[in-house]
Amino acid sequence: MTALPPSTSSEADLEKLGAIDVKFFGKPRATGRVVWTAPDGIDLALVRVPFKDAGEAQSALWQKGRPTTVGSQVFAIGNPHRLGWTHTQGVISQLRPQQAGNRQIRLIQVQVALNPGNSGGGLYDREGFLIGINSLSQDKSVSEGIGFAITLDTAARPSLRPTSPRSFRWIPRNAPKNPPTQRRMNNRSRRARQSTSAGGRKASSGRHAPASP
């Protein structure tokens, strides 16, 4: 795919990219088109693919503000050197801010093997939530195990969203409001509050309390 000049998303420039062959896991290929590119040379683009039936498309799990910490296990899915649906894994090495024009974006530095063909693919946490878009890696002749992904929260930032008639909305699908661990903690806290409240009512009734000597 030919890269667009920085900060360019005009209809004419997008049309120059032409049709893109999009491959889906377990489904027929489809033809898509780039409908948006990020400003200031940020390596993000949006591809629109028509479906006859909305049920044919399955979105990835994602959650705004999902925690990412150094040392957490992650994995990438991509097509390095045209080897389709390749799975590579590693850990988050660091979280790094980077200036892009007037905007500051956040990068996830990973130990995951990223090669040509991984760019644009997803970076996922161990629970399968999409947390970033794989973007680049260091020259393998200089270093190993240094790759970068743009955080999903950066991609979903309002200042980066397209405002043309072809705009889109970020809608988390199949993603719980709280991760399972957080739900269990919330349930335990709720039961503890209910127990404390019930105990308080019994102690304060005094209806069957023994008389003072």
171 domain residue, yes or no: no
Q: Poorest-confidence range of 72-81, 90-99, 156-165?
A: 156-165
177 inside domain: no
CB 123 within 8 A of CB 153: no
Mean pLDDT of the 158-177 span = 50
124 assigned to some structural domain: yes
As a whole number, mean pLDDT of residues 126-147 equals 90
The rounded distance, in Å, linking the Cα atoms of 62 and 131 is 7
Domain tally, the chain? 1
The radius of gyration computed from the CA coordinates of the chain, to the nearest angstrom, equals 24
Q: Which domain holds residue 58?
A: 11-160
- pLDDT tens string 89-102: 999 999 999 998 88
What percent of the chain lies above the pLDDT cut of 70? 67
Mean pLDDT of 122-145: 90
Q: Residue 76 falls within a domain, yes or no? A: yes
Please choose, from the candidates 162, 165, 137, the residue with its C-alpha nearest in 3D space to the C-alpha of residue 149. Answer: 137
Q: Lowest mean pLDDT: which of 31-35, 150-154, 206-210?
A: 206-210
Answer whether residue 87 shows pLDDT above 50.
Answer: yes
The answer to which of 1-10, 65-74, 95-104 has the lowest mean pLDDT is 1-10
Residue position matching structure tokens 């905007």: 103
Nearest alpha carbon to residue 151 among 87, 62, 84: 62
Mean pLDDT of the chain: 75
Instruction: Encode pLDDT of 26-64 as tens digits.
Output: 788 889 999 888 888 888 888 888 877 766 677 889 998
Q: Which long-range contacts (CB under 8 A, 24 or more apart) does 10-15 make?
A: none
Any residues with CB less than 8 A from the CB of 121 and at least 6 apart, and which? 76, 77, 78, 79, 133, 134
A 10 A CB-CB count for 127 gives 13
User: Does 207 map to a domain?
Assistant: no
154 against 194, higher pLDDT: 154
Is 206 a member of any domain?
no
Q: What is the DSSP string of 136-183?
A: EE--TTT-SS-EEEEEHHHHT-GGGS--STT-------S--SS-HHHH
Contact indicator for 146, 93 with CB cutoff of 8 Å: yes
pLDDT over threshold 80, residue 137: yes
Helix (H) or strand (E) holding 45: strand 45-48
CATH number at residue 42: 2.40.10.10
Burial (CB count <10 Å: 0-12, 13-18, 19+), residue 75:
middle
